[in-house]
């Protein structure tokens, strides 16, 4: 008797998808028992129906895999967005603490005076240029600002301060005419390496040139000595200029005197600056000033420094962006805007590239930066997956230089250490 050949592959598919059709699409809802199923006719199921169900099942599995992949990517995006938000908030809080905004609030710049001394104008012009703005941001990670030790991590490192002169207070008992006083900042772990006193003589018309001055005098105020009385002036320096060139800005180097003032604040009794014309009128603009003379009163350009140590250049590690992402620990771009913070007292930069670290870390290749010891102190409920393993975090940071007005209306150029991520690693 002739036997029809059996295709085992077709039989297998027939059995599997017959069951699927019976329970999902073909069997009527009235079939409630196995006995009913045994009497149901499955002979009308075709090969095309079986292949259709196979195709649908494959597409469904593919869609599920794609959905899971998209969910993984979306989760990574959300994690990075959270990391960016936390990093920006951390930077804002750190700078606010360094500039004492958390203690004294936002500086009031409503009535601030901008120095018109040439050294500030040159500084401002430099920081208006794109190249120097990049330097301030720390885009060159191993600039001079990055070569000095981070001895003032908490409150930054003031490098340059412009101090407007003011009238001596009554408490000093200064009775000498043309005296001025500078409210010196308190210096910790820093030394004065340069101090220039700038004075300004208003331009004179050609008709008044014969009455102009040719000599400028500088005196320091000192205690009266054993005889008592108010402080007296003592000659320090004289500058001689040709009469046509006496108008405009002039400066005296008073580095030693400024160093003495910062080392011994009680010795700061001010100075006297004079430039008399033929009518015995002092042509140097002195405080207080109003109108067109504002900003032209004597100004002290104070520069300070700390010990520098040259550091060895290192690689920046893996750098990513939104188009080039890796699962591994990587440095991602992040811009911090002081304009968005509402900090109008910041002169420069208005923004800077801070960067942040994100990505996965394996147990191997851990750095020796102590981050793991910090992670171990975090409660397990706060750690994703309860896994206190190595984390992607900064292992090399660069400094940020800021030009801003402080709470005493002094213009400060300050270096804030470790404000920009240079290199990320697992630790």
| Predicted local confidence at residue 109, as pLDDT | 84
Is 131 inside any structural domain? no
Q: Please identify every stretch of the chain with a pLDDT value under 50, giving residue numbers as ranges.
A: 1-4, 6, 8, 11, 19, 22-43, 45, 50, 54, 130-151, 307-316, 364-385
Q: What is the pLDDT of residue 233?
A: 94
Domain tally, the chain: 1
Residue 224 counted as domain residue: yes
The answer to whether residue 228 is domain-embedded is: yes
In a domain, 109, yes or no: no
Residue 356 within a domain? no
- Domain assignment of residue 182, yes or no: yes
- For 245-268, letters b (16+ CB in 10 Å) and e give ebbeebbbebbebbbebbeeeeeb
- Cα 297 to Cα 295: distance, rounded to the nearest angstrom: 6
Task: Determine if the peptide bond prior to 349 is cis (ω within 30°).
Answer: yes
Examine residue 247 and state whether it is found in any structural domain, yes or no: yes
Decide: 352 and 336 in contact? Cβ < 8 Å.
Answer: yes
Q: Do 355 and 420 meet the contact criterion of CB atoms below 8 Å apart?
A: yes
Tell me the CATH number at 213.
Answer: 2.60.120.970
Tokens of 260: 């003495």
Within-domain flag for 341: no
Q: pTM score, two decimals?
A: 0.57
The boundaries of the domain holding residue 291 are 159-305
**Which burial class, exposed, middle or buried, applies to 216 when counting CB atoms under 10 A from its CB (0-12, 13-18, 19+)?**
buried
Residue pair 237/218 in contact by the 8 Å Cβ criterion: yes
């Amino acid at each position: 008797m002739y036997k029809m050949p059996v295709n085992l592959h077709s039989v297998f598919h027939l059995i599997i998808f017959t069951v699927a059709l019976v329970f999902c699409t073909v069997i009527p809802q009235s079939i409630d028992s196995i006995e009913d199923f045994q009497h149901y006719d499955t002979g009308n199921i075709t090969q095309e129906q079986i292949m259709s169900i196979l195709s649908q099942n494959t597409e469904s599995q593919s869609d599920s895999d794609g959905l899971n992949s998209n969910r993984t990517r979306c989760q990574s995006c959300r994690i990075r967005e959270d990391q960016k938000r936390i990093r920006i908030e951390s930077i804002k809080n750190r700078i606010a603490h360094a500039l004492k905004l958390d203690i004294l609030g936002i500086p009031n710049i409503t009535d601030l005076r901008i120095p018109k001394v040439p050294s500030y104008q040159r500084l401002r012009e430099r920081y208006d240029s794109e190249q120097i703005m990049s330097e301030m941001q720390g885009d060159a990670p191993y600039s001079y600002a990055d070569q000095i030790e981070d001895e003032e991590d908490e409150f930054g490192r003031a490098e340059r301060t412009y101090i407007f002169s003011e009238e001596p207070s009554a408490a000093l008992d200064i009775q000498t005419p043309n005296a001025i006083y500078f409210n010196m900042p308190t210096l910790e772990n820093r030394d004065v390496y340069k101090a220039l006193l700038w004075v300004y003589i208003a331009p004179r018309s050609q008709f008044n040139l014969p009455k102009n001055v040719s000599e400028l005098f500088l005196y320091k105020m000192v205690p009266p000595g054993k005889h008592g009385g108010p402080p007296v002036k003592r000659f320090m320096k004289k500058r001689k200029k040709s009469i046509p060139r006496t108008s405009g800005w002039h400066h005296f180097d008073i580095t030693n005197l400024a160093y003495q003032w910062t080392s011994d604040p009680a010795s700061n009794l001010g100075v006297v600056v004079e430039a008399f014309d033929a009518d015995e009128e002092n042509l140097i603009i002195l405080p207080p000033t109003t109108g067109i003379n504002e900003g032209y009163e004597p100004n002290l350009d104070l520069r300070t420094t700390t010990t520098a140590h040259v550091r060895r250049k290192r690689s920046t590690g893996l750098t990513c962006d939104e188009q080039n992402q890796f699962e591994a620990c990587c440095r991602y771009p992040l811009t911090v805007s002081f304009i968005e913070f509402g900090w109008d007292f910041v002169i420069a930069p208005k923004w800077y590239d801070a960067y942040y670290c994100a990505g996965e870390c394996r147990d191997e290749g851990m750095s020796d930066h102590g981050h793991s010891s910090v992670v171990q102190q975090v409660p397990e409920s706060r750690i994703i997956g309860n896994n206190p393993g190595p984390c992607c975090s900064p292992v090399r940071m660069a400094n940020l230089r800021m030009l801003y007005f402080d709470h005493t209306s002094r213009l400060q150029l300050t270096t804030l250490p470790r404000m920009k991520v240079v290199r990320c690693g697992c630790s």
